[in-house]
């Protein structure tokens, strides 16, 4: 890996477009997510410890665990980063600095935004679901095709992990595909071919990690994984009363757009945020610290 785990956590931003977008979802998972940044701060917060020697020991052990390739932490990070980066084509450096005032969605800087067609959006959504499954299996040391274990664990998701799935549902499902995003995505997946996958950057990035001997079997696994999680996602949406409209209203706090431009809003969020990688690093840091603390 090019960076250590403590560098990755230390370099997490405290405020940018990604953070604003995630905070706009607090009404969905109230109080679940705190933008925990800084490796030492993460150790103190997760463990409640303030003894400097113990904090150092926990940090050292967490680094050892992350660096051990026999563990699954580096693979999970690779999955978070690869899937997160696949859809971003808009230069984000200038956007990341625009944390004051509202960003006009139509006009000026964002005139080149191009909404994704339903097929491409569905592939991205389903790949993020698969990446979440594979990362979960890697972190927990279980086989990557353990769909049942993953679905069973969703009820225990909390904190940054629950926020990541909430963002996935809202930003990659409801906003671009509409209130019936699950049905729409299922229809698209049913009609996909292996050549559709070959054309997708995200699939090419994580293809080696997806169970299956060939592209057709990997496509079958993607469909099975998405179908298995659909019931949980549908219940999540209905139980919390989530709609494209109330998600969009939350985002109005920092970006200006008209109600008939939700497809452009989806493109903007996709291209200007890395919520998946950001919360993924936070999940990894928490898991590493909790394990290191328990071992010490």
Mean pLDDT by 10 residues, the chain (296 residues): 89 92 96 96 96 96 95 95 70 49 66 80 95 96 90 96 98 96 95 91 92 94 96 97 95 84 87 93 97 96
pLDDT at position 92 is: 47
d(CA 42, CA 211): 33
Q: How many CA atoms lie within 13 A of 38 on its CB side?
A: 6
Distance from the first to the final alpha carbon of the chain:
25
Beta strand pairing status for 103-104 and 255-256?
parallel
The pair of structure tokens assigned to 70 is 């026999």
Q: Measure the CA–CA gap between 12 and 40, rounded to whole angstroms.
A: 13
Can you give the pLDDT at residue 101? Answer: 66
Single out the residue of 101, 161, 130 nearest to residue 290, CA to CA: 161
Centre a 10 Å sphere on the Cβ of residue 14 and count the other Cβ atoms it contains.
9
The whole-model pTM stands at 0.93
Question: What are the residues facing 103 on neighbouring strands?
Answer: 255
Closest residue by Cα to residue 252 from 80, 65, 101: 101
């Amino acid at each position: 890996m090019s960076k250590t785990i403590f560098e990755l956590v230390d370099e997490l931003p405290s405020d940018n477009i990604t953070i604003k977008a995630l905070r706009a979802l607090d009404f969905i998972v109230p109080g679940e997510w705190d933008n925990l940044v800084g490796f030492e701060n993460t150790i103190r917060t997760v463990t409640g410890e303030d003894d400097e020697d113990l904090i150092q020991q926990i940090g050292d052990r967490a680094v050892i665990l992350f660096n051990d390739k026999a563990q699954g932490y580096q693979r999970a990070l690779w999955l978070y980063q690869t899937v997160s980066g696949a859809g971003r084509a808009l230069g984000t450096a200038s956007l990341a600095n625009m944390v004051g005032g509202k960003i006009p969605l139509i006009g000026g800087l964002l005139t080149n935004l191009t909404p994704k067609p339903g097929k491409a959006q569905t592939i991205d959504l389903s790949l993020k679901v698969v990446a979440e499954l594979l990362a979960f299996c890697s972190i927990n040391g279980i086989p990557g095709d353990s769909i049942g274990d993953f679905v069973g664990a969703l009820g225990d998701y909390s904190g940054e992990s629950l926020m990541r799935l909430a963002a996935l549902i809202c930003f990659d499902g409801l906003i671009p595909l509409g209130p019936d995003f699950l049905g729409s995505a299922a229809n698209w997946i049913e009609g996909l071919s292996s050549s559709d996958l070959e054309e997708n950057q995200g699939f090419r990035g994580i293809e080696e990690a997806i169970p299956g001997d060939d592209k057709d079997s990997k496509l079958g696994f993607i469909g099975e994984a998405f179908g298995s999680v659909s019931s949980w996602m549908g219940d999540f949406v209905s139980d919390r009363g989530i709609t494209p409209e109330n998600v969009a209203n939350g985002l109005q706090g920092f970006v200006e757009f008209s109600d008939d431009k939700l497809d452009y809003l989806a493109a903007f969020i996709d291209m200007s945020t890395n919520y998946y990688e950001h919360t993924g690093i936070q999940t990894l840091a928490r898991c590493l610290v909790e394990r290191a603390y328990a071992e010490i």
